[in-house]
Structure 1
Amino acid sequence: MIAYGNVCLRQFPKTERYVMAARIRGDMYDLLELIVAANKHYYKKTTLQEIDTKLEALRSLLRVAVREDMKYLPPDKWANWAEMLNEIGRMLGGWFKSLTQ
């Protein structure tokens, strides 16, 4: 997801590369960092909730980037990226479920 995201972020207008694109890029790396931390922690539930929050924030930023009045991100690239985020969400849901059993 990070490799694909970085390719997509290069297409953002120069004015947004250092604002919105930087925020999205930072959120992607924060998400990766939280996943690594959750894998190492004994009490994972709070970290998994943080991952879920960060994932939802990333989805929201991408929705703003693809909006009709913004058009920073083409709809087809957004769809691919959104599917990757959905897959991460499904894995996260499975991880939550495994903790409760």
Structure 2
Amino acid sequence: MAIPIPQPAKLHQTPREKPAEMVILTQTYDLLLWLLPQCEKFPKQQRFVITKRLQDAALDFQESLYEANAQSGQLRLQHLRAADARLNKLRLYLRLSHQWHWLKDAQYQHASRLVAEVGRLLGGWIRQTRG
């Protein structure tokens, strides 16, 4: 029996979320939907090293956003800062993947645009939380 999967825009919606927070969760989900299948095409000998770190950074980033969304004040800010550090790791692993030709130029440009947009949203959320 197949389990229906909600559409990304509806998956993260709760009554207390602000629109900017909703967008970052959806954008990150879309990034994961694109990125994780790409990782399956990376060389097998790297799947347990760089590929795993790339996947972990992306998934940990998403988890940090959910944790931040569940908190307020300084706790939220701590989770957002952790998310920022994880996003920087994600950028590093994407650059390495491109440098080693595991991602084609067009794929890297696409990933970079997605990550840049998520980074802008995260920066705005951090500024809003700081007050």
TM-score of the alignment, normalized to the shorter chain, above 0.5:
yes
What is the root-mean-square deviation in Å for CA atoms of aligned residues? 1.1
1:62 to 94, 114, 118: 94
Corresponding residue number in structure 2 for 1:90: 120
Q: Gapped runs of 5+ residues in structure 2?
A: 1-30
2:102 is paired with a residue whose SS is: coil
The alignment covers a number of residue pairs equal to 99
Q: Which has the larger radius of gyration?
A: 2
2:76 to 31, 34, 44: 44
User: Is the 2:42–2:51 contact (alpha carbons within 8 Å) kept by the matching residues of 1?
Assistant: yes
Q: Aligned equivalents of 1:34 and 1:96: distance in 2?
A: 13
Q: Aligned equivalents of 1:59 and 1:29: distance in 2?
A: 13
Q: Please, what TM-score do these two structures have when normalized by structure 1?
A: 0.91
- Matched-pair identity in %: 25
User: Is the 1:34–1:51 contact (alpha carbons within 8 Å) kept by the matching residues of 2?
Assistant: yes
Q: Gapped runs of 5+ residues in structure 1?
A: none
1:31 to 43, 53, 61: 61
Runs of 4+ in 1 over 2 A off after TM superposition: none
